[in-house]
Chains A and B, each alone.
Chain A
């Protein structure tokens, strides 16, 4: 994937309240970009716009030669992992993956689904266990498998490690690194500065809907440096 994701003066207004002000940014493939900021900063709105589920009130998001907008066929190349798993609790892990693979026009055969499950460490889950019976960590693994099922070029994560235990959080970090190495564009919204410092090579800090810092460092951000940047940008 060679095309960066480019935001130009993106704004969003909800019922008279401005959630995003003229956000311009560039997310490169093969990088993990962490979007940070206090509650209400506009992080989830930004992710909603990148996922095409929310339309910007102004500005444009471009991906390659095309506008990434609501209803765009490019959404077929986006994988989304939120704090909710986005799967059907009454289906088994395999049925969930088969369903989403089929919707994406991808091979929904047993071998591919098994490979996806093995990749996220769910290879030995009982075939008849519905997702409702899964632990939080297992659900998050299934969510990642679901997001990867159609081989997306852009991966969006919204607080993916919320409610994960330390082992689960470490696994997730390794997965993010693997996706970056695979050349995907990864955008991670998080409150967890430690997690961001461990993985991000680009940091965007939002405050009251505005970008107050956007910096890329190929070598990453040491935790102390990131904390300092965050304090400086947000005053908190």
Chain B
């Protein structure tokens, strides 16, 4: 046998891709998390629609935006609470951490899989909101989708770190929400404000929405950078 020279490991992005693909393959097979996320998101939207929609009247844009983002947060929390479950079972996390993948690649892989899962759920959610609340279906809807995508990245970036930190904690579902929600308040506010400005049928505030889009982009950079930095000590093993 040779001296203990490590084999050349694949690049950072390839490692992250392997990890994301593995998570999505498992989810594709069971559709367990996706089904729960979508169910909860739909229930949230339906409950709010019964509460806020008056017959014959379209609800105000801020209300629709609020409902949409609450549903995103609720369903996203489900995705995050399960993000590391498969690593915990059978101590697969140990095998993963022993692989020559940088911790950052593990984080980005988990983040990518969570974002994909959330975006698929949000597609269903957006369609439901368009139908129930008769929201616009023009080019501005694409900008709402962009806001949702940016908000999802920031939400998942913060959430994946907490999800990993709570890997072995008892009552981790309750703890996850308690720790995560105060952190993601700026994301939800920015997303809801920007969405409300775009969904205003009479006079959409494009400039205001552009500001919130840029703000979310900046938050994404901040949260992903902080996540990359925090993930290593969080999953360390000591």
Contact = CB atoms under 8 A, between A and B. Distances in A.
Contacts, number: 123
A108 B236 CA distance: 27
A35 to B, nearest CB: 18
26 contacts: A1-B4, A53-B94, A55-B238, A70-B237, A73-B100, A75-B99, A76-B6, A76-B9, A77-B5, A77-B7, A78-B98, A82-B94, A88-B26, A88-B92, A89-B86, A90-B26, A90-B30, A99-B22, A103-B15, A103-B18, A103-B99, A104-B7, A105-B9, A150-B7, A153-B4, A182-B1
Given A3-B4, A106-B7, A88 B99 contact: no
B54 interface: no
Interface of A: 1-3, 14, 29, 48, 51-55, 63-64, 66, 70-71, 73-78, 80, 82, 84-91, 95, 99-100, 102-106, 131, 139, 146, 150-151, 153-154, 182-184
Interface string B90-113: 111011111111010000000000
B8 interface: yes
Assign chain B's interface to a size class: 35 or more
B89 interface: yes
Contacts of B18: 99, 102-103
A146 B238 contact: no
A77 B3 CA distance: 10
Contacts of B86: 88-90
Contact of B98 (A53, A55, A66, A87): A53
Contact of A80 (B94, B101, B236): B94
B2 interface: yes
B22 A91 contact: yes
Contacts of B22: 88, 91, 95, 99
Nearest to B22: A99
A77 B1 CA distance: 12
A131 B91 CA distance: 13
B10 interface: yes
A90 B15 CA distance: 20
Contacts of A102: 10, 18
B168 interface: no
B222 to A, nearest CB: 24
A77 B26 contact: no
A48 B237 contact: yes
Nearest to A14: B238
A85 B22 CA distance: 17
B25 interface: yes
Contacts of B170: none
Contacts of B236: 53, 55, 70
Given A88-B22, A91-B26, A76 B10 contact: no
B1 A183 contact: yes
Interface in B6-33: 6-10, 15, 18-19, 22, 25-26, 29-30
B90 A86 contact: yes
Contacts of A48: 237
Listed residue (A48, A75, A86, A95) with the most chain B CB atoms within 10 angstroms of its CB? A86
A64 B3 CA distance: 8
Contacts of B100: 73, 75-76, 103-105
Contacts of A139: 90
